[in-house]
Structure 1
Amino acid sequence: MSTVSPSTDGSRSRPRALHRFRRRALAVLVGLAVPFTGMVGLAAPTQAAEAAADPSASYTRTQDWGSGFEGKWTVKNTGTAPLNGWTLEWDFPAGTKVTSAWDADVTNNGDHWTAKNKSWAGSLAPGASVSFGFNGTGPGTPSGCKLNGASCDGGSVPGDTPPTAPGTLTASDVTESSVKLSWKAATDDKGVKNYDVLRDGAKVAAVTATTWTDQGLTAGTDYSYSVQARDTADQTGPVSAPVKVTTRGEGPGPGPGPGEKINLGYFTEWGVYGRNYHVKNLVTSGSAEKITHINYSFGNVQGGKCTIGDSFAAYDKAYTAAESVDGVADTWDQPLRGNFNQLRKLKAKYPHIKVLWSFGGWTWSGGFTDAVKNPAAFAKSCHDLVEDPRWADVFDGIDLDWEYPNACGLSCDSSGPAALTDMVRAMRAQFGSDLVTAAITADASSGGKLDAADYAGAAQYFDWYNVMTYDFFGAWDKTGPTAPHSALTSYTGIPKADFTSAAAIAKLKAKGVPASKLLLGIGFYGRGWTGVTQDAPGGTATGPATGTYEAGIEDYKVLKNTCPATGTVGGTSYAKCGSDWWSYDTPATVKTKMTWAKDQGLGGAFFWEFSGDTANGELVSAIDSGLR
């Protein structure tokens, strides 16, 4: 593979540094009861004098991600007169604090915290309520709550511990249209009122028993269930570990069946910013109908664990109705937004699509070195994150993009040839029958990266390898020679032997990796030089050609118009326009590669990445038709 660092927004694996922010819309729910007995009259003066505002406050810990949490306070006017302004006070134990807040002004004096209403949120009619939230650190819960100087009654949580998580959730008696769920009881200091049953993250039932049967399901369909307890103060406790169920009978199935090929695309988390590419674009381009899998990239690897990449883009960014896959806008208080919620909606619309969460990439692969020192702990952290109850139904497995085990990428690893196998063995133990895949090098040179790790031994635990058969050559060699970055086969004058797709696939097969576990990689972009006078490959250059996001790289959707292909070499296209020289794949060369992949018995193809394609998905369509 290349030794260049791919671009921030134009290449396959560097998440951009983002300015993260949070916007919260304030929702005020107003309910006004007007009594009447045949006629409406004015209240007597004594009645009006007795009317009074009677506020209460309650607290919930809405999210907990180990190193921090999200809390929410709700202030409600339970009286009969308007409430004009409120001040909430509480104490946190030492070590617990608020780090940021929204929809209220929050200050502190040591461990004593005070929240005052925003100017637009202080007036509450009888029955109305308003909420504000905050991010915090530490394990503690609020105590000593006061609202406008009085006790926070009305079912407030301070001093009342939320219920525990229900015990192990199991599924039984699975039919084509139903499943029986059972779990162990939760505990609470004042009693459990009921259990909320969640299907694919949405509440579908409230029951008092510890069993429940879900009916009216679709045959041959995947579902994810979890349960949480609710106490007599209406507090909810932690969500149970999810259980996945596939109903009996014919249905969408887990993915390609016998004889079918995989067509997988990478969706970049940061593409929603500068590139303005969103999950809905998969629908409008027609690509969603033609792909089988999506790799969502990238989660980070740090501190020996799988971690979130960009939380705002992943699960907090709000989408309007026009931007959303299903035409329904996000609300300020829904539990999941961002790309994850849009992917959930995409899967509901196209149930054949499976989504994997990809971790690492060029920039974040350095974390694998520490992580594989304890493969079991690393695998558990990844499983816990991928299967987080907030989005467990979104993902069907994990992709591990380690660039590169026991070799050098942006950083160098010396974990040894067995590290990859040790890691995936632990992953398979955690993820069970869920998908576990990897993006791997295509460096087939003698003593190259494919010889540095035990790819054959690890293959028995992986579902497939995404072989990165692109970026063989590029303008990191500023003076050239010019060469196609994704040649299928060798050709006379190639700068380095065995830097081709065919050589990489042949080497992996020779090592004992089954052909059906190999996917051929396609780049939806070109690499180019400037200062070139020679049309054919092998010319000299003065540096990288200008690109939209990074010098030396450009999307196919741009190049097809600005620098149309003028020739082919090694099964891929090249173009010379002015003094610029580019190499990239076109629909025609993609189809040639797909024919070759089928002849080799490969499991299919994958590509980096969706936003490089045209608005009508030309390259995705070429892969789809070529694999049929």
Structure 2
Amino acid sequence: MVKIAYILVFLIAFIYLVTAENKVICYYGTWATYRNGNGKCEVKDLNPHICSHLIYGFVGINEDATIRIMDPWLELPDNWGKDNFGEFNRLKKANPNLKTIVAIGGWNEGSAKFSKVANDQTLRENFARNAAEFTAKYGFDGMDMDWEYPSQRDSTNKDTDKPAFSLLLAEMRKEFDKKQLSLSAAVAAVNASASLSYDIPTISKYLDFINVMSYDLHGAWDPVTGYNAALKRYDAEDLPVEASLNVETAIDYWLSAGAPKEKIVMGIPLYGRSFRLANQAQNTVGSPSTGAGIAGQYTSENGMIGYNELCEKRLNLPGAWPEKWDDQASVPYTFNNADWISYDNELSIKMKVEYALSKGLSGVMVWSIETDDFRGVCQSTKYPLLRLINEVAGRVIGGSNVTTTTISTSSSQSTQGPTISTTNPPATGMPTSTSASTLTSTSTTTDPSTSPGSVCKKPGYFRNEDDCNKFYQCVLDSDTMSYRVYYFSCPSGLFFDADTIICNFPHLVDC
């Protein structure tokens, strides 16, 4: 009997580990619909498999506790509108496991209207009911509360917002449970702000998960350069106190303040913060800054630049934006003349996801999906950062495990172009589409007939030009500046889809 009991315990633990999936939550800033060129990102550009949850940002709150649709033409089908709400939620047809959530609030919505509603019992009840009805009506699976922030900014009840927010969430929990809807919140990360706004143990009782915005820790509002989202504490001559603003410290605070680790989702930015250097010769962290630096060519906001925008600048001007690495902070930075940028790259993101997993957190979230290289302009794959996040988190995309790659922790730079070496492929499978979900694996073989010098030009996955069933992966080893080449074959009858990086049915692949 004892032996059987041990076996049962083992099986229960095994089933939990297999079925539990780390969250990868993606915010989508819908204003990206109006950007130009490669920055234009519509709902149709979103990959429904790349995130476990997609959050639609934003709707607004009115003082009478009703929900305000920000852009009726964009979000509704009326009067020949684009029906974004409908298109967004129809993504679940392509991936039934996807959860869609509508976010209410955001930075531009301010704090005053939230404060008024939260501090009135009748308005709280009305809002909870209206929010649940709105969420269900338009087909979302939940709502994300983005009140930025209780007891701060233009709040009208700063002394009572903190307990009032807890009361508001309690009312919402009751109404959302009736409709089996999820309830989450985006929250300030660091102690100085979070302690003003949240009764953390109480709000944790009502929320399904908590999106900790562990970014914007430094920006053009500071008099010196600082990291947008340093993973670890770092030394900087002019940042003796602010250097404590880092991801690890923020997460440790939330845990110590009473948030359950299984509800915390750690934020990762897919954008950088830019500064204008006061002296171009001083270009390290903590250097004097005169304000906001370069704007992204699509986001057009001074002091902010998307990963996709920076990588395109590097593509168009090779060598103009050298990548530097801070071993203490575990993040990169770059500069060009008077512009200095703190951002995240593949290595820093990998380290952040690994940190979140090591702490037993629920997963990670990104702000925001449309500033990844979602078109695959800089690499052969679309959404390279989110694909990496899924890979490190061990998530399944489209029915099979994401292929494992190796990212070097070396910060050394080389002026020579990469060389190429072929190695045995890893024993992992490429994802298959949901339409081909019964096919769960791929085979991998080496191809000795391929000339190493003519295969890899950049990292990513590439289809064999002579055989649509075959493809290969180029992985850059930054220590040796050489490529490792892995060769694969899709399951019989499937073609490699270079756009979605899956093995798919031939009629769905342009080959």
Q: What's the TM-score once normalised by structure 1's chain length?
A: 0.52
**Residue 260 of structure 2 aligns with which residue?**
514
SS state at 1:289 partner: coil
Deviation sequence 1:143-195 (CA, Å, 0-9, x none): xxxxxxxxxxxxxxxxxxxxxxxxxxxxxxxxxxxxxxxxxxxxxxxxxxxxx
Shift in alpha-carbon separation, 1:276–1:560, aligned structure 2, 3 A: closer
- 1:355 deviates by 0.5
Match of 1:291 in 2: 51
- What corresponds to 1:437 in structure 2? 184
Asked whether 1:623 is paired with 2:389, we answer: yes
State the Cα deviation string for residues 375-402 of structure 1 (Å, max 9, x = none).
21111111222222xx2xx200110001
1:542 has 2:290 as partner: yes
* Equivalent residue for 1:560, pick from 311, 329, 337: 311
Tell me the secondary structure at the aligned position of residue 460 of structure 1.
helix
Deviations 1:50-75 (A, max 9, x none): xxxxxxxxxxxxxxxxxxxxxxxxxx
User: How far does residue 415 in structure 1 lie from its aligned partner after superposition?
Assistant: 2.9
Q: 1:370 to 1:258 in 2, by over 3 A?
A: farther
Report the structure, 1 or 2, having the larger helix content: 2
Q: Distance in 2 between matches of 1:561 and 1:410?
A: 40
Structure 1: how far apart are the matches of 2:73 and 2:56? Answer: 15
Distance change (3 Å), C-alpha of 1:281 and 1:564 = farther
Q: Report the Cα distance in structure 2 between the residues aligned to 1:361 and 1:516, rounded to whole angstroms.
A: 24
Structure 2, unmatched stretches of 5+, are 1-16, 314-320, 376-381, 395-511
Q: Which runs of 5+ in 1 are unaligned?
A: 1-255, 319-331
Structure 1 contact 292–354 (Cα < 8 Å) conserved: yes
Identity over aligned pairs, percent? 27
Choose from 78, 87, 97 the match for 1:342. Answer: 87
CA separation in 2, counterparts of 1:412 and 1:269? 30
Distance in 2 (CA, whole Å) between partners of 1:449 and 1:467 is 10
Q: Structure 1 residue 412: deviation in Å? A: 7.7
Secondary structure class of the residue paired with 2:61: strand
Distance 1:618 1:469 in 2: 21
Question: Structure 1 residues 497, 451: closer, same or farther in 2, change over 3 A?
Answer: farther
The amino acid that maps onto 2:283 is D
Which one-letter code corresponds to 1:513 in the other structure?
A: A
- Quote the offset at 1:544 in angstroms: 1.5
Residues 75 and 85 of structure 2 are in contact (CA less than 8 Å); yes or no, is this contact kept in structure 1?
yes
Q: Closer, same or farther in 2 for the Cα pair 1:408/1:498, shift >3 Å?
A: farther
1:91-102 to structure 2, matched below 5 A, reads none
> Residue 104 of structure 2 aligns with which residue?
359
The number of equivalent residue pairs is 345
Instruction: Specify whether residues 282 and 409 from structure 1 end up closer, same or farther in structure 2 by C-alpha distance, changes over 3 A only.
Output: farther
Q: Is the 8 A contact 1:362 1:409 kept in 2?
A: no
> Which residue does the alignment assign to 1:481?
224
- Quote the residue 1:305 is aligned against: 66
1:271-290 map, 5 Å? 271-274=32-35, 275-283=39-47, 288-290=48-50
TM-score, normalised with respect to structure 2: 0.64
Q: What is the Cα deviation at residue 306 of structure 1?
A: 2.1
Decide whether the 8 Å contact of 2:50 with 2:386 is kept in 1: yes
What whole-Å deviation, never above 9, does each CA across 1:261-303 have from its counterpart, x for those lacking one?
00011112222112521112113xxxx3221001101010112
Indicate if the aligned counterparts of 2:116 and 2:157 stay in contact, CA closer than 8 A.
no
Structure 1 residue 266 corresponds to structure 2 residue 11: no
Amino acid at match of 1:485: N
Cα distance, 1:542 vs structure 2: 2.5
On the 8 A contact 1:316/1:337 being kept in 2, the answer is: yes
Write the mapping of 1:17-166 to structure 2, written as runs, cut at 5 A: none
Name the CA distance, whole Å, in 2 between partners of 1:540 and 1:410. 32
One-letter amino acid matched to 2:246: T
Separation in structure 2 between the aligned mates of residue 407 and residue 419 of structure 1, nearest angstrom = 13
Conserved? CA contact 1:441–1:450, under 8 Å: no
Q: Determine if the alignment matches structure 1 residue 455 to structure 2 residue 221.
A: no
- Larger Rg: 1 or 2? 1
